[in-house]
A and B are shown apart, each in its own frame.
Chain A
Amino acid sequence: EPEVTQTPSHQVTQMGQEVILRCVPISNHLYFYWYRQILGQKVEFLVSFYNNEISEKSEIFDDQFSVERPDGSNFTLKIRSTKLEDSAMYFCASLVGLAYEQYFGPGTRLTVT
């Protein structure tokens, strides 16, 4: 069964450093998402991406965040200058069409020290 993959599984970085989280969505999917989950809290929507542009973003997704689909297969989330409060699990998800269900990746645990 096709699946969404994410790398790395765990990333440790120092405050102020840039990080790039990588995702490979399911190959025929057209809609892409990033969510995050701070430990012990609920899953929060960050951004949706369709047709090579951001279609919606949450208040969390400020200027420190950016997304890219550089080569038609990868989907990346960049955090420009990490803060302690960016420590969380980051989940990528993809969707073949709006009438269908989302598939989530296993997540990247980001730890900012």
Chain B
Amino acid sequence: DAKTTQPTSMDCAEGRAANLPCNHSTISGNEYVYWYRQIHSQGPQYIIHGLKNNETNEMASLIITEDRKSSTLILPHATLRDTAVYYCIVRSRSGNTGKLIFGQGTTLQVKP
């Protein structure tokens, strides 16, 4: 699975959009980009995933660049409850056991 690089930490004002970048320059054609988050010491929570098209769900939007070497997770109206560690993970959806390899992630602090 390709490696990812994320900033260690970011701040965001409550009510504003939080844009979390991820670099995955070695991603291969069959690998998807997944985003999870971990609030305090709770279990990681799935947010969204994508292959090459932009994706949106009730939690967030995922923008993947055309060359697929980077992506941005967007929380459109961040709340204090969105304060968490956000993980960008690249994984193929076949030919493996499905395990997730977590990096250090980005600690997002939403401030009032």
The chain A residues found within 8 Å of chain B, CB to CB, are: 4, 31, 33, 35, 37, 42-45, 48, 50, 55-56, 89, 91, 93, 95, 98-99, 101-107, 109
Partner of B45, one of A56, A99, A104: A104
- The majority secondary structure among interface residues of chain B is loop
Chain A hits for B45, CB < 8 A: 104
Asked whether any CB of chain A lies closer than 8 Å to the CB of B70, the reply is no
Selected interface stretch from B19-27, B76-84, B93-101: B93-101
| Chain B residue with Cβ nearest A103 | B46
In contact, A95 and B98 (Cβ under 8 angstroms): yes
Query: In this complex, what residue of B is CB-closest to A47?
Result: B99
Look across to chain B and name the residue whose beta carbon is closest to the beta carbon of A99: B93
Smallest CB gap from B100: residue in A:
A102
Q: Which residue of B lies closest to A55 (CB)?
A: B97
A107 CB contact (under 8 Å) in B43, B94, B97, B103: B43
Size class of the contact patch on chain B: 20 to 34
Please name the residue on chain A nearest to B46 by beta carbon: A101
Complex: how many Å from CA A30 to CA B80? 35
Contact of B101 among A45, A106, A109 (CB under 8 A): A45
